[in-house]
A = this chain, B = another copy of it.
Amino acid sequence: MRSTYFTPGPAELYPSVERHFREAFEQQIGSISHRSQRFRDLYQFADAQLRQLLQVPDYSAILFTSSANEIWERLLMNTVEEVSFHLVNGAFSEKLRDFSTQLGLRPITFQKPLGEGFFEQEIQLPAEVELLACTANETATGVQMRPEDIHALKRRYPQTLVTVDMVSSAPYPDLDLSLVDSAYFSVQKSFGMPAGLGVWIVSPTLLEKSKKIQAQTRSVGTYHSLPVLWKNYEKFETPETPNVLFIYVLGKVAEDMNRLGIKTIRQETEQKAKMLYDFLEETEGFAPAVKEIAHRSQTVVVADVPAPAPLLEKAKKQGLIIGSGYGAGKASQLRIANFPAVSQAQVAQLIEVLRTGI
């Protein structure tokens, strides 16, 4: 039986993904040279589609890595000499903070309890902060940070590099990429692809910082340092042999999303999220884990329940795979991914299965 994955990454594949892979094999994309015009065209196509979908400004680069974890490491190595600032409210924002420590940097943490989020007004950055790390959607807890709060922070601290983790939210958040300095995501979440590709949107402010660190302070890496990535990007190439097949498929998925229109994708996401949150509010034995409405994620809905295991099991029998709570949340929460790959009808089906209890 074919299941529907409501897991927050790896997740349900976007409906056209398998077809794009099939067509890639027909075109022998797996064998073409990454130094050929054909590859450059394919990178340029993905770049153009993502640029349109996410409204990436002309002067920013769209770089490919193997994962968001890799982007975390490259980001810190390339843009922080000493001090990064982290808004931590879950396992993933915390992990980026820990990377900073592991690299010998000095991270400053502003921490909220699990399930809570950040408003712009409560955040003060010490003068020495070089990079502010925001998380548009904390995948572990289903807490979002609204674009308006992120924008206000960048306006208040124009000299600080502001980066946004969009791992489990892009392309949903209406983030102004001409204002913030960098954003990134991996393709196995909202883009509904198999895992193995990270996408890093980088403004020249980061490149300049990286060059400065490299000239004055220390190594910023080798084949995936920002200067090397950027130089290759200028001719739509990559330093190493990249995941050509996935770059091709990502371009095609982004094209499909553009055909649908980002406005439609955002509206559908909000409609499906409303269905889920309404159900959690109205149904005995269920409650949204995030109390503050402004911080409820539209793409990963987390539910408090008395006993998750029987619900996971019941849904699984109906072919619906839900995510369990993350870490400590495993014993009391469900996580339901609300990505573009799942339809309103599928969300309605999931709600019906959960409603009828065990």
Contacts and interface: CB of A to CB of B under 8 A. Distances in A.
Contact of A222 (B32, B73, B242): B73
Contact of A104 (B2, B197, B219, B240): B219
A13 to B, nearest CB: 5
A163 to B, nearest CB: 16
Interface string A340-357: 000000000000000000
B17 A31 contact: no
Interface stretch (A62-70, A123-131, A173-181): A62-70
Contact of A195 (B9, B12, B34): B34
Contacts of A32: 10
Nearest to A341: B31
Contact of A66 (B66, B186, B221): B66
A246 B188 CA distance: 14
A99 interface: yes
Contacts of A188: 30, 241
A28 to B, nearest CB: 6
A206 interface: no
Q: Quick one: copies of this chain in the complex?
A: 2
Contact of A69 (B11, B21, B73, B240): B240
A33 B21 contact: no
Nearest to A69: B240
A37 to B, nearest CB: 14
A157 interface: no
Contacts of A240: 67-70
Interface string A168-198: 0000000000000000001010000111110
A12 B5 CA distance: 33
B31 A196 contact: no
Interface centre among A9, A17, A32, by most chain B C-beta atoms within 10 angstroms, is A32
Nearest to A228: B102
Interface string A60-83: 000001111110110000000000
Interface string A8-47: 0111110001100110010011111110000000000000
Contacts of A29: 194
B33 A241 contact: no
Interface in A257-307: none
A57 interface: no
A223 interface: yes
Contacts of A67: 66, 240-242
A33 B323 CA distance: 9
Contact of A33 (B7, B68, B196, B246): B7
Contacts of A193: 30
A245 interface: yes
6 contacts: A29-B194, A73-B224, A102-B219, A102-B221, A102-B225, A196-B245
Interface of A: 2-3, 5, 7, 9-13, 17-18, 21-22, 25, 28-34, 65-70, 72-73, 98-99, 102-104, 186, 188, 193-197, 218-219, 221-225, 239-246, 321
